[in-house]
Amino acid sequence: MSHTVLCGDFAHYQDPDEEWSVDGFATAEAAAEYARRFVRDQVEALRGEYATTDALRDAYLSFGEYAIAPGFDLQAWLAHCIANPATKRADTDYQAIDPNQ
């Protein structure tokens, strides 16, 4: 069985023309890890532009790209990422675990 991550752009939330899927994950946990890294990469890309945690959260929910995967809680992970900046490349390197690379 293969697992999928659905990705999209909050600026065009749930617009089918602005959503894409990343297929082929061997486990639900692998798909969730991809989603975690993908979201964290988005948060880190915005972090330097917004001075407060509220501003960063609002910017992500307005301009960022989301990921949906089995067992992945986007809101809880977003709060964690905002409170705890990434400290190593693997935190944000979602491409490294893309099964299609």
User: Which sequence spans correspond to the domains of the chain?
Assistant: 3-92
Inter-residue contact 67 to 32 (CB < 8 Å): no
Distances in Å between the alpha carbon of 82 and those of 10, 37, 49, 50, 93? Answer: 17, 13, 13, 11, 17
For the beta carbon of residue 79, count every other beta carbon within 10 angstroms: 13
pTM to 2 decimal places: 0.94
Give tens-digit pLDDT for 36-56: 999 999 999 999 999 899 999
Give tens-digit pLDDT for 58-70: 999 999 999 999 9
Give tens-digit pLDDT for 11-23: 887 788 889 999 9
Inter-residue contact 8 to 65 (CB < 8 Å): yes
